């Protein structure tokens, strides 16, 4: 399979606009998605700096998942652009975006149930030129599934499936990892495992954009938080500032913080 490595579409250097001095890896400009009369994402311009863990929070229906799907290419925007690593993503197919260095973990586990854990990891590894066996061993170790390498993926627990799916995305060595509610429906222990996994990948330089509801979890992993409300950005900043912001508390955290 030919992997388009250099898609020199509209080279546009995007500079972080959040005041961070790190280089921006992902930025959106006036990104809008309308479903009929409903504007799910309304002229969003935001930036993720290379190497950060950015959490995206907001009440149900704020447009978090839509925004994520616009970035992956599952949805195409009504208006606006998305830049990733100096590349205009807007016109690219989902698989081309993944080639460019984005990986995604869906909200509910999407794994290959009929394959073993190891085979699940081999599927993405097949199309990279990375050292398959080494990466395989490392990844299994990393997601703590080395013991279950030859177990059928359908026999894993919910938490293990989530870890496996993150593992599959990790094997591609992405520059940016998108996680949609990675700890939904997980036990406290499983949540702690995921937080640790994210932190360790972050230490190795991976950038994260995480959609999450669980504020406890957000506190554990995040430095920068973006709050979405009714399709627009309400606030952006360090987690402490966000949590003490009156408007955010009223709209979103009011009931559970």
Tell me how far, at minimum, the Cβ of 95 lies from other proteins, in Å.
5
Cβ distance to other proteins smaller for residue 72 or 191: 72
Tell me how far, at minimum, the Cβ of 229 lies from other proteins, in Å.
27
Tell me how far, at minimum, the Cβ of 208 lies from other proteins, in Å.
16
Cβ distance to other proteins smaller for residue 137 or 152: 152
With beta carbons less than 8 A apart as the criterion, state whether 210 and 182 touch: yes
- Using CA atoms, how far apart are residues 141 and 146, in angstroms rounded to an integer? 5
With beta carbons less than 8 A apart as the criterion, state whether 123 and 111 touch: no
Tell me how far, at minimum, the Cβ of 171 lies from other proteins, in Å.
9
Instruction: Give the alpha-carbon dihedral of 35, 36, 40, 45, to 10 degrees.
Output: 90
Cβ distance to other proteins smaller for residue 145 or 225: 145
Cβ distance to other proteins smaller for residue 30 or 126: 126
Q: What angle do CA 107, 108, 111 make, to 5 degrees?
A: 115
Helix (H, G, I), strand (E, B) or coil at 33: strand
- Using CA atoms, how far apart are residues 3 and 85, in angstroms rounded to an integer? 17
Residues that bind other proteins (CB under 8 A): 1, 3, 72, 74, 93-95, 98-99, 103-104, 106, 110-116, 119, 122-124, 126-127, 168-169, 172
């Amino acid at each position: 399979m030919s992997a388009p490595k250099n898609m020199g579409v509209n080279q546009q250097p995007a500079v972080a606009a959040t005041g961070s001095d790190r280089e921006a890896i992902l930025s959106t400009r006036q990104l809008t998605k309308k479903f009929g009369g409903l504007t799910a994402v309304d002229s969003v311009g935001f930036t993720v700096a290379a190497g950060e863990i950015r959490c995206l929070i907001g009440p149900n229906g704020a447009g978090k998942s839509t925004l994520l799907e616009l970035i992956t290419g599952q949805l195409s925007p009504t208006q606006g652009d998305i830049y990733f690593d100096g590349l205009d993503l807007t016109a690219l197919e989902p698989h081309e975006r993944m080639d460019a260095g984005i990986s995604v973990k869906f909200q509910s586990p999407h794994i290959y149930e009929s394959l073993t854990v190891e085979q699940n990891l081999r599927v993405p590894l097949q199309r990279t030129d990375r050292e398959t066996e080494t990466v395989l061993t490392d990844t299994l170790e990393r997601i703590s599934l080395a013991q279950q390498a030859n177990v059928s993926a359908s026999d894993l627990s919910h938490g293990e499936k989530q870890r496996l799916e993150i593992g599959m995305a990790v094997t591609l060595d992405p520059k940016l990892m998108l996680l949609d509610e990675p700890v939904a429906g997980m036990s406290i222990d499983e949540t702690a495992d995921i937080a640790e996994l994210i932190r360790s990948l972050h230490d190795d330089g991976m950038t994260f954009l995480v959609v999450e509801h669980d504020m406890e979890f957000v506190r554990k992993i995040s430095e920068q938080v973006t709050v979405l409300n009714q399709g627009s950005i309400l606030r952006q900043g360090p987690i402490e500032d966000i949590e003490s912001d009156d408007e955010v508390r009223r709209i979103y955290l009011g009931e559970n913080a």
